Structure 1
């Protein structure tokens, strides 16, 4: 799941909601409260539909268990699909709460496999590795310069079916917690610090985070939550935005294998971490409807299989070669007439 991209999207949505409110005489004189967003950031995304595809690349699997073989082959195709919906449930001057749900899956197709019908590749072939998630983002502005943000998220990750969810829900559950404290130095500059507990690095871990959002002039700006992502922004005009940067992506899937040599373990865990260097374009289609397209190079930093969920006993170490990627998105933003009413 894209942890930091959702954080940035939620923060942008929070800012958009505040801007989109029609002002009464009382709100016109009310103090402006701090938020993570800065002037020039794109509009908040309420609904997002995305599709990503990677072309073919090689894969090698080194066994870490005496009863498993080494294997190699070629990933002929790797597809990813996702849908996200975010909506406000509380919208007060100092306190905002956003609730979101999402669904995504990825699938692999293999060729030139050695040995033939290698168990891991055969199991993953055309199988949907799914993620169903829900999150709540809480933003509280202490005053016009300070704020803090809490994000709670839960996901069901794996090759589950409806029956699996009904009977073994807890086995697939992956929690994420983000805590951020920030300072709004000016409408163009926000900095913050925090901690993130999640799966950006493949396994559950706690790591520090630094927010740095800075708009330098009418065209250039930076949006970042280090170390997970950073991107340079260029505002061509109010309808077109360009980005260049990097993003870390991680995931952990619970898999129930009932055939082949992997079946002796029953439930295994596939954990991955990727690094993407990317270029991105966002462009308005019509008022509230936008599209995004991004492409670049995806390097697999770590891809491992463990003998059970949460275990440290690694049984396979997969070496996935780097490859280019392309992703397209269609998303809905607040209509321009609502933004104009707020001015």
Structure 2
């Protein structure tokens, strides 16, 4: 009844202001408005949220310092010329020709993850990342025709410059995709960025389901250099938070897997591991169009404490054990990559070995919860 009176008032107003548009009351069928309601029944499509409750905060910007305690380095006797995409000819029993005591390994790390698009049906984040690995090596000893790699590492160190883009694409209130692509330029380069022609790329795609605000899981596939060599691996995501929001997991296997304990909303502890690595071009050994690359990969079991300092600023402190997965080397003819994977029989050009070491990392981050 109220709707009829409202519409009648509007019609009278229009009659006075706009005679050409007005209709005679006797021509209007008011009964058609009898079933109108003031509720909008339009269905709004809802999409899955990017995270679940209780997870560690997402870092927009972070700066940290990484340091390993001393260990021994053993490098094999010879580096061989390239042999196309089939690997080289040095076996696991290659004699050691160069040794050294690594007193310092580490440097500054900068990471960014900036939102470009942040909508309910699409989130795109991009970031430039940099990791410095400097070395201080003493007691270098060469036997016969040593390669001089220890001296190069001592003088130049290793750098990694990375550009990563991540896309969160929900397709329903529970289901979503995550796509991530990255480009890495890694090597002993300086500011001249000479190895720009040996950029390595990685890609990952995960299909996932947000079961509830406390749980999500996903399956996918990745093209990665996490263990130094080019590899294709399945991906398993499993994030869960207990009902009391104290315990949880943050798993993206095999790249990393952590358990989590939340002391409060402003502090938490992660315990688990992360794989870290990339293929690093050694400029001095790269002849012509060939690229001589150290396949650096390491496993890092660790503890990480995160605590809010003020507002969006958090600190994080890590302590763990760096385990050498590979520090072997390949020479890539024409800088073209080949696939060895976990089970390939191609032999390396150098068989190198690093002693394992305790490491520490301390940093500060600008985050969002």
Contact 1:220 1:233 in 2 (8 A): yes
Deviation at 1:266, TM superposition (A): 7.0
Contact 1:307 1:313 in 2 (8 A): no
Alignment partner of 1:279 is 2:303: yes
Match of 1:183 among 209, 233, 250: 209
Instruction: Tell me the distance in 2 between the aligned counterparts of 1:142 and 1:263.
Output: 49
Match of 2:169 among 118, 122, 140: 140
Instruction: Tell me the distance in 2 between the aligned counterparts of 1:115 and 1:64.
Output: 12
Alignment partner of 1:38 is 2:52: yes
SS state at 1:121 partner: helix
Deviation at 1:136, TM superposition (A): 1.4
The structure-2 alpha-carbon separation of the partners of 1:107 and 1:250, relative to structure 1 and needing over 3 Å to count, comes to: same
Runs of 5+ consecutive residues of structure 2 not aligned to the other structure: 1-39, 82-94, 339-345
Contact 1:233 1:243 in 2 (8 A): yes
Match of 1:207 among 228, 233, 239: 233
Match of 2:351 among 299, 317, 331: 317
Alignment partner of 1:59 is 2:83: no
Instruction: Tell me the distance in 2 between the aligned counterparts of 1:202 and 1:177.
Output: 15
TM-score, normalisation: structure 1? 0.81
Matches within 5 A, 1:253-264: 253-257=280-284
TM-score, normalisation: structure 2? 0.76
The structure-2 alpha-carbon separation of the partners of 1:161 and 1:197, relative to structure 1 and needing over 3 Å to count, comes to: same
SS state at 2:152 partner: helix
The structure-2 alpha-carbon separation of the partners of 1:163 and 1:253, relative to structure 1 and needing over 3 Å to count, comes to: same
Alignment partner of 1:236 is 2:263: yes
2:153 aligns to what? 124
Runs of 5+ consecutive residues of structure 1 not aligned to the other structure: 1-25
Alignment partner of 1:327 is 2:339: no
Contact 1:63 1:315 in 2 (8 A): no
Contact 1:86 1:98 in 2 (8 A): yes
2:188 aligns to what? 159
Alignment partner of 1:96 is 2:123: yes
2:218 aligns to what? 192
Instruction: Tell me the distance in 2 between the aligned counterparts of 1:232 and 1:32.
Output: 30
Contact 1:265 1:307 in 2 (8 A): no
Instruction: Tell me the distance in 2 between the aligned counterparts of 1:271 and 1:198.
Output: 12
SS state at 2:351 partner: strand
Alignment RMSD (CA, Å): 2.5
Deviation at 1:96, TM superposition (A): 0.9
Which has more strand, going by share of residues? Answer: 1
Q: Deviations over 1:220-263 (max 9, x none)?
A: 000101122110100000111111101111111111116xxx87
SS state at 1:126 partner: helix
Deviation at 1:313, TM superposition (A): 5.8
Instruction: Tell me the distance in 1 between the aligned counterparts of 2:288 and 2:355.
Output: 29
Instruction: Tell me the distance in 1 between the aligned counterparts of 2:77 and 2:163.
Output: 35
Instruction: Tell me the distance in 2 between the aligned counterparts of 1:230 and 1:164.
Output: 34
Deviation at 1:170, TM superposition (A): 2.1
Instruction: Tell me the distance in 2 between the aligned counterparts of 1:66 and 1:332.
Output: 46
Instruction: Tell me the distance in 2 between the aligned counterparts of 1:290 and 1:190.
Output: 25
The structure-2 alpha-carbon separation of the partners of 1:135 and 1:78, relative to structure 1 and needing over 3 Å to count, comes to: same
Instruction: Tell me the distance in 2 between the aligned counterparts of 1:300 and 1:294.
Output: 18
314-323 vs 234-243, greater mean Cα deviation: 314-323
Deviation at 1:323, TM superposition (A): 0.8
2:35 aligns to what? none
Deviation at 1:288, TM superposition (A): 1.4
Question: Which of the pair has more CA radius of gyration?
Answer: 2
